[in-house]
Amino acid sequence: MLRLQAPLPDRYTLATPEQLDEWIRAAKATLGSKLLVLGHHYQRPEVIKWADARGDSFKLARFAADNDQATDIVFCGVHFMAESADILTGAHQRVVLPDLNAGCSMADMADLDQVEECWEALADVTDVDRIVPITYMNSSAALKAFVGEHGGAVCTSSNARAILDWALARGDKVLFFPDQHLGRNTGHQMGFDESDMRVWNPRHDLGGLEERDVKDATFLLWKGHCSVHQRFSVEHVEAFRAEHPGGEVIVHPECAHEVVELADRVGSTERILEWVEAAPPGAVLGIGTEIHMVQRMATDHPDKTVVSLDPLICPCSTMFRIDGPHLAWCLEALTRGEVVNQIVVDDRTAEWARVALQRMLDLPGAPTAAAKVD
């Protein structure tokens, strides 16, 4: 999805890190409690150090919603997260994304046109009233609205199983987008196997499937993935185990199923943080998630060995777009009363997206502001 970020003035691109720090500090002091800076765990150090709250996407959106004192919310994350924050915050609050090009490659793998075409194609061969559409939190507001309008719900990586149980109590099948891996891993966790699942490729007629496949499948998994988590491989796990025979492998459920099968623990971003914190001194942990978070956990826990399973650096390149210059630029603009890069979800989309989010929240054990979700 094309989002155009205007080039920054030279003042920011030519500034030293010390100057940027000074300007950010001054802007935060000027804006005071009117400002809330939110930082996703995958943000780089020069950005995350300015965050008033850290967390995963849903936790940060709820944090914004629970803080109605702040009128300007600067979301250091990616586009779908800023949209969710806008949906969940009040009319007096404005959400700013420091770089409009900070999208999510996974969220961009399913757009509304493709999903609507998919739904129409499914309606030609089966009863769509028996299909429950579920979208991962990591999707555009338009897709959250689509599932809201079609009887479905949003899920996160920590509650995907509860949401899919709910969906299959309401229908015969689930259309799950945009991450095939989270859908597949959750389906296996629920006791289904590959024969119950089909991958829907939006580039092909009827998703590249036969009518029989659509009828037989319980899970129609959108052909999307996270470019960060899909990098982790069986070879990475084997290499880690060979080097650290007593080590523990912890991965995110956006990893491929064969990697998840080999892991000792599988959990959301917040769960991974908890497990690392709870590990005893001397523990050796091989982690399958974004590198900035892994490096931060290693720094924060010098008594443990925390390493990435992938020896090659694997940052989230879109999260990485948020940097000191962009943060300083949007904060200084706010001190002048200018709002740059505001993310606004239109009323109709927000209304249906809220329905889909609310269905998730209404489930027992649903995430709260202090929840553990990706």
Which residues bind to ligand SF4, rule: CB under 6 A? Answer: 42, 78, 104-106, 138, 226-228, 290, 316, 318-319
Closest CA to 75 of 88, 225, 146, 300: 88
The Cβ of residue 328 has, within 10 Å, a number of other Cβ atoms equal to 25
CB of 108 to ligand SF4, least distance (A): 9
Are 118 and 205 within 8 A, CB to CB? no
CA–CA distance from 272 to each of 72, 142, 258 (Å)? 30, 29, 19
40 vs 354, which CB is nearer to ligand SF4?
40
User: In angstroms, rounded to a whole number, what is the distance separating the alpha carbons of residues 329 and 170?
Assistant: 48
**Which alpha helices (H) appear in 220-319, and where do they start and end?**
234-243, 257-262, 269-278, 291-300
Question: What token pair was written down for 280?
Answer: 């005893």
CB 25 to ligand SF4: min, Å:
27
Q: Which two tokens mark 302?
A: 């010098």
Q: How far is the CB of 332 from ligand SF4 (least distance, A)?
A: 26
Please give the backbone phi and psi of residue 248, each rounded to the nearest 5 degrees, phi first: -115, 140
Residue 15 vs 142, nearer CB to ligand SF4: 142
* Of 53 and 125, CB closest to ligand SF4: 53
Q: How far is the CB of 314 from ligand SF4 (least distance, A)?
A: 9
* Residue closer to ligand SF4, measured from CB, 321 or 359: 321
Nearer to ligand SF4, 171 or 253 (CB): 253
**Smallest distance from the beta carbon of 99 to ligand SF4, in angstroms?**
13
Closest CB to ligand SF4 among residues 150, 229: 229
Tell me how far, at minimum, the Cβ of 373 lies from ligand SF4, in Å: 12
Nearest by Cα to 133 from 226, 124, 58, 120: 120
Smallest distance, Å, CB 319 to ligand SF4?
5
* The pair of three-digit structure tokens given for residue 216, joined into one six-digit string: 């037989």
Rank residues 144 and 173 by Cβ distance to ligand SF4 and give the closer one: 144
Q: For the residues of 58-74, what is the DSSP string, one character each?
A: HHHHHHHHH--S-SEEE
What is the DSSP track for 13-68? HT--HHHHHHHHHHHHHHHGGGEEEEEETTS-HHHHTT-SEEE-HHHHHHHHHH--
